[in-house]
């Protein structure tokens, strides 16, 4: 992956994670109400976005990516 692509991937992953984190904070900190199914989905989306951000950050820093727990890779998960 070229350096520009790595930076672009990092920025994109960061922006997606921040949007998901903002939605989560609206529930946890600002009192927005969600039914349990939607809350579970929100938590899962934020968690996946954070993992993608962490992976992009490691690549930006030049640190080899470690496999996800259980040997699973998260790269194939599509963003909803």
- pLDDT tens for 11-48 read 999 999 999 999 999 999 999 999 999 999 999 999 99
Q: Is residue 72 in some structural domain? A: no
Q: Is residue 69 in some structural domain? A: no
Q: Is residue 58 in some structural domain? A: yes
Q: Is residue 14 in some structural domain? A: yes
Q: Is residue 70 in some structural domain? A: no
Residue-level pLDDT at 60: 93
Contact 55, 13 (CB under 8 A): yes
> Residue 52: which domain range?
3-62
Contact 60, 7 (CB under 8 A): yes
Sign, Cα dihedral of 7, 9, 74, 19 = positive
């Amino acid at each position: 992956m070229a350096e520009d692509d790595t930076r672009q991937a990092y920025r994109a992953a960061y922006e997606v994670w921040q949007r998901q984190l903002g939605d989560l904070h609206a529930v946890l900190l600002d009192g927005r109400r969600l039914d349990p199914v939607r809350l579970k989905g929100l938590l899962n989306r934020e968690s996946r976005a954070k993992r993608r951000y962490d992976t992009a950050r490691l690549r930006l820093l030049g640190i080899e990516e470690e496999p996800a727990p259980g040997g699973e890779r998260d790269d194939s998960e599509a963003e909803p």
